[in-house]
Chain A
Amino acid sequence: MKVKKFRKFIRENYEGWLFNLPLMIGLLVFTFIPVFSSLYYSFLDTDGFTQSFVGLGNYIRIFTSDRDIGKVVVNTLTYTIISIVLNLVLSYLLALLVNQKIKGVKTFRVIYYLPCIIPLVASGLLWKDIYDPTYGIFNKILTSLGMPTSSFFQEASSSMFSLILMNLWTLGSGMILWLAAFKNIPKQMYESASIEGANRFQRFIYITIPMSTPMIFFNVVTSIINTLQYNGTLTFAPRDGRGVDDSLYMYAVKIYWEAFERGKLGYGSALAWVLLIIVAIITFILFRTSKWVFYGEEY
């Protein structure tokens, strides 16, 4: 009897299991085993060949004796907050500009989006050249406009600003999201608001913003997670991505530096786990405080 039941159970399920098998293997080998061995490594002092158990030593070092950490955290937070807010606001304005119903507007949308498809290495190569204090074209343009020149990445004080300015080049990706959000807002809402005498500004505050909140929310969550892991400075910043006086030294580059340049794989793993926990906490808080997100009546 039991055997029969078991056979039936297998017969009903084996196709699903078989089709899902690649995922089961893949998740186990390339995600779950690595995640848990990463946790294990974080308690070791290891270069991949020799290892010794140090308990919480790596974590204690992160929070007490690592001299870089303060600067790394400040840089990462500064960059994350400023670039996300600036991107959200400016890409909104850009989307507003190309949301007009006039001739040729589609071409402009494509042009604004084009910098976003340029690979990071190519744009790193390019901006490193443009930003060169003596041989770059940026300072040449500034001089010819009678403006003061800058040292860009070659001086600690101007590095972060230059990075944020450089990232405005890819405003187009935010613009695309805003345009999609605009498209999802029913036209009747604006029409009836206009009839009742709402002006442009009021329509923005009471219709556009609330109706775009799901997009804003999703965008903020994913950009925070991505920006905390930003390692693009590796391609263009001086001192192998750390910047002059560590002015561009951010968390992901710190992990790279400790693990793969210094060979401290255990310490790198501990840093990565701290990041994982921070990302989890931020995501949790964002979702718990997401009552302001308006999902419309039908959801």
Chain B
Amino acid sequence: MSKRNYHDLSINERAIFNQRLFKICIYTAMIIIGIILIFPYFYMVMKSLMSSEEVVGPVKLFPNKLMLSNYVDLFTSNNKYLKAALNSLYIILFNIIAVPLSASIIAFSFAKLKWKGKNLMFALMMSTMMIPPTVTQIPLYIMYTNMGWIDTLLPFTIPNLFGGGAFNIFLIRQFMKGIPKNIEDAARIDGASTFRIYWNIILPLCKPVLIYIMVTIFIVNWGDFYGPLIYMSSSDAPRTLAYVVFLDSTESTAASQMAHMRMAGGVFMTIIPGILFMLFQKQLIEGVTMTGSKG
């Protein structure tokens, strides 16, 4: 069969042809953009798998041999990364319990209880969302210095016993407002105390929003380098993983020794957020859009 020109096709065939062409264009564009966006990360992973000689040699993309042992070395050669990762996990574990509990207690008082001063407190709380953290960092630094909290993990845990920020409380309050009132009324008639209503009825129903908050707490605390830079920067202070990677980044250049270990540290930092994202993709994206489009 001889080749047919575009002009020889029937209208119907042309439509199908155009649609196919359109699809091919779309896929091509998506793949090219995807490659561009993935490439830096791919390069990081590759570099983390190179040997110490390769990494200081001429620029290349693929290692001769995949040195998976780099990741073992990361945690065994010295305990810098391991200790830091444990500190990070300690902070996160504390906050992942403290923030949902305290924030939900506060949110409960806003969503489900009647009391004098509620509207005032709510307005005060919401107004704090406008205050840039840059304003409070200096007085907090002075306060923590006076309390002896500098170079300890306390600035990263204790303040989170009080709700962990207006935004978390607001999110839970919005969610609780959506829980029908007759559920708690029924419990009240049965003689349940207010705390029981909060603990046994309302809190379990808030699971979706609490999971969202826990995941964001993990991601935010895991990546926080600025807090440790201010409050835990002396050399004998406990280190968090983000701060160790921060020091790796600032105290080095691309050509210097141990670039493969630095990259392995960086890649390791991305693994847990990556897994969390894959597991809670739906909640996270819904959360972003919930906070983004309905504000």
- Residues of chain B with a CB closer than 8 A to A25's CB: 162
Within 8 A of B (CB), among A117-173: 117-122, 124-130, 132, 134-137, 140, 169, 171-173
Please give the number of chain B residues whose Cβ is less than 8 angstroms from any Cβ of chain A in the complex. 91
Asked whether A111 lies within 8 Å of B37 as measured between CB atoms, the reply is yes
Q: Is B76 an interface residue (CB 8 A)?
A: no
Nearest A-chain residue to B273, judged by Cβ: A117
Against A, the Cβ 8 Å flags (1 = close, 0 = not) of B3-47 are: 000000000000000000001001101100110011011011001
The stretch from A73-81, A187-195, A213-221 touching chain B is: A213-221
Q: Is B178 an interface residue (CB 8 A)?
A: no
Asked whether A26 lies within 8 Å of B162 as measured between CB atoms, the reply is yes
- Residues of chain A with a CB closer than 8 A to B44's CB: 122, 126, 129
B42–chain A nearest beta-carbon distance, Å = 11
Which residue of A15, A181, A276 is within 8 Å of B194 (Cβ)?
A15
B44–chain A nearest beta-carbon distance, Å = 5
Within 8 A of B (CB), among A84-139: 94, 97-98, 100, 102, 105, 108, 110-115, 117-122, 124-130, 132, 134-137
Which residue of B33, B102, B138, B161 is within 8 Å of A269 (Cβ)?
B138
Asked whether B134 lies within 8 Å of A272 as measured between CB atoms, the reply is yes
Asked whether B162 lies within 8 Å of A121 as measured between CB atoms, the reply is no
Which residue of A20, A234, A255 is within 8 Å of B109 (Cβ)?
A20
The stretch from B63-71, B180-188, B206-214, B244-252 touching chain A is: B244-252
Asked whether A27 lies within 8 Å of B292 as measured between CB atoms, the reply is no
Given A111-B37, A120-B223: A30 and B293 interface contact (C-beta under 8 Å): no
A contact patch SS: helix
Asked whether B106 lies within 8 Å of A23 as measured between CB atoms, the reply is yes
- Residues of chain A with a CB closer than 8 A to B41's CB: 114-115, 118, 126
A174 to B130, CA, bound (A): 21
B contact patch SS: helix
Given A19-B108, A135-B253: A276 and B40 interface contact (C-beta under 8 Å): no
A6–chain B nearest beta-carbon distance, Å = 12
Which residue of B33, B273, B277, B293 is within 8 Å of A184 (Cβ)?
B293
- Residues of chain B with a CB closer than 8 A to A283's CB: 130
Asked whether B163 lies within 8 Å of A26 as measured between CB atoms, the reply is yes
Given A48-B142, A97-B29, A137-B59: A177 and B277 interface contact (C-beta under 8 Å): no
Asked whether B289 lies within 8 Å of A19 as measured between CB atoms, the reply is no
Q: Is A208 an interface residue (CB 8 A)?
A: no
A15 to B114, CA, bound (A): 9
Asked whether A23 lies within 8 Å of B121 as measured between CB atoms, the reply is yes
Asked whether A22 lies within 8 Å of B105 as measured between CB atoms, the reply is yes
The stretch from A32-40, A60-68, A196-204 touching chain B is: A32-40
Which residue of B133, B226, B265 is within 8 Å of A234 (Cβ)?
B226
Against B, the Cβ 8 Å flags (1 = close, 0 = not) of A257-269 are: 0011000010011
B55–chain A nearest beta-carbon distance, Å = 10
- Residues of chain A with a CB closer than 8 A to B288's CB: 173, 176-177, 180
A115 to B40, CA, bound (A): 9
- Residues of chain A with a CB closer than 8 A to B106's CB: 19-20, 22-23
Asked whether B140 lies within 8 Å of A34 as measured between CB atoms, the reply is yes
Interface size class of A (residues with CB under 8 A): 35 or more
Q: Is A225 an interface residue (CB 8 A)?
A: yes
A115 to B136, CA, bound (A): 30
Asked whether B163 lies within 8 Å of A276 as measured between CB atoms, the reply is no
Given A31-B128, A97-B26, A180-B292: A229 and B37 interface contact (C-beta under 8 Å): no
Q: Is B86 an interface residue (CB 8 A)?
A: no
B33–chain A nearest beta-carbon distance, Å = 7
Against A, the Cβ 8 Å flags (1 = close, 0 = not) of B113-148 are: 111111001001100101111111111111101000
Q: Is A273 an interface residue (CB 8 A)?
A: yes
Which residue of B115, B117, B136, B249 is within 8 Å of A30 (Cβ)?
B136
Which residue of A111, A128, A225, A272 is within 8 Å of B38 (Cβ)?
A111
Asked whether A19 lies within 8 Å of B263 as measured between CB atoms, the reply is no
Q: Is B281 an interface residue (CB 8 A)?
A: yes
Asked whether A117 lies within 8 Å of B219 as measured between CB atoms, the reply is yes
Q: Is B266 an interface residue (CB 8 A)?
A: yes
Within 8 A of B (CB), among A1-60: 9, 12-13, 15-17, 19-20, 22-27, 29-31, 33-35, 37-38, 41, 48
B residues with CB within 8 A of A: 23, 26-27, 29-30, 33-34, 37-38, 40-41, 43-44, 47, 59, 61, 102, 105-106, 108-110, 113-118, 121, 124-125, 128, 130-143, 145, 159, 161-163, 169, 194, 198, 219, 222-223, 225-226, 229-230, 233, 242-243, 245-246, 248-250, 253-255, 259, 262-263, 265-267, 269-270, 273-274, 277, 281, 285, 288-289, 292-295
Q: 10 smallest A-B Cβ distances: which pairs? A: A26-B162, A16-B115, A119-B223, A180-B289, A132-B254, A19-B109, A34-B139, A125-B249, A218-B295, A34-B136
